[in-house]
Amino acid sequence: MKRCLLFGLIVALVALPTLPLFAQSVPEIAYDSAPNLLKLPADIFLGEAAGVAQNSKGHMFVFTRSGETQLFEFDQEGNFVREISPRNYAFAFAHTVRVDPQDNVWAVDEGTNMIVKFNPAGKVLMTMGRRPESAEGDVPGGFNFHPVLPGDTPRPAGQYAFSRETDVAWDAAGDIFVSDGYGNARVVKYDKDGRFVKAIGSSVKGKEPGQFSTPHTIATDAKGNVYVGDRGNSRIQVFDNDLTLRAVWTGVGAPWAICVTPGPKQYLYSSDAVGPIYKLDLEGHVLGKFGTAGKQMKQFGWIHEMNCTSENELLVGELLNWRVQKLTIHPQK
């Protein structure tokens, strides 16, 4: 019986679609970058653009690491609108920002192990996770913290606690998917009210299908499928809405940032740290690529988050270049 079960597991893993995406040469896609996108007041400065997102009005949100972690809003022309929730207790080290279909803004902070949901007016609607306190002793940030060393028994991951979580996404029902992240190596599903549903992966990094090594970015499509940029394993893993593994895509570098386009025909964009950015269909075929490392416009320095405004427009937040670029893609040029 054990042999039969083992054989069945091997067959299942062999049958899992793993696409080497460079079976043929990948065409280069032409693109442009809009100059002077963001207009900041004279006394406000942009640091590392860790996160960038856009709402239904075209307003842009930038989660930045500067003198302190700050969340800025700009209008569709790039004019500064406001800072959202200055000196928020959950802000310490920005990681990503996302906007849901109801235009709520979700800030993912790696430094506090927290995610904060703001309504469009900037009011806090929900928090997830909890910032560790030094008074609590043996926790990250605590006065008596004992990090897990090689050979130690790994600490189990809690249902409602994160360890340097990285990103968030939703399905059409409002269910929440969190990639968690640096300290843990898992993806967690919650219902729309933040109640735990399911987790895959664990607190330990792994390289087998369904395991993770720094799940750094996450996105969903209109059918509720979940795409996870498994950066440490240089692959994208694809799951259905119940977090059952469906496919593993390789050959697009180490995915630091992914996003899925809106509309009836959806595409996925995935970026390595310094480019190129790859355009894929949702079957995992690479349709084209563009971009290289550098400091000039149309070049990239550690792409940390992308927003898919449409099939042919992206917002790209960079860490090393302290900026956001708005890219217009010309696939037929």
Mean pLDDT of 15-30: 69
CA-based radius of gyration for the chain: 20
pLDDT of residue 6: 43
Tell me whether residue 193 is in a domain: yes
Q: Are residues 124 and 80 in contact, defined by beta-carbon separation less than 8 angstroms?
A: no
User: What are 224-281's pLDDT values in tens digits?
Assistant: 999 999 999 999 999 999 999 999 999 999 999 999 999 999 999 999 999 899 999 9
* Torsion angle of the four alpha carbons 63, 69, 277, 40, in this order, in degrees rounded to the nearest 10: 60
Residue 141 lies in a domain: no
- Predicted local confidence at residue 210, as pLDDT: 98
Percent of the chain predicted with pLDDT > 70: 88
Q: Give the β-pairing of 69-74 and 60-65.
A: antiparallel
Q: Give domain status of residue 43, yes or no.
A: yes
Please indicate, yes or no, if residue 58 is contained in any of the structural domains.
yes
pLDDT in tens, 162-209: 999 999 999 999 999 999 999 999 999 999 999 999 999 999 999 999
The pLDDT, as a whole number, for residue 1 is 47
Task: Categorize the per-residue pLDDT at 5 as very low, low, confident or very high, splitting at 50, 70 and 90.
Answer: very low
Could you tell me the CATH number of the domain that includes residue 195? 2.120.10.30
**Per-residue pLDDT reduced to its tens digit, 48-106:** 999 999 999 999 999 999 989 999 999 999 999 999 999 999 999 999 999 999 999 99
Residue 321 within any structural domain of the chain: yes
Structural domain contains residue 305: yes
pLDDT of residue 332: 74
Smallest Cα–Cα separation from 92: which of 133, 60, 38?
133
Write down the pLDDT at residue 136: 65
pLDDT band at residue 132 under the 50/70/90 scheme: confident
Specify the pLDDT at position 182. 95
The total number of structural domains in the chain stands at 1
Strand order in the sheet with 226-230: 18-20, 245-250, 235-239, 226-230, 215-220
| Within a domain: 150 | no
In-domain check, residue 92: yes
d(CA 169, CA 209): 21
Range of the domain at 116: 2-134+156-330
Residue 189 token pair: 């599903």
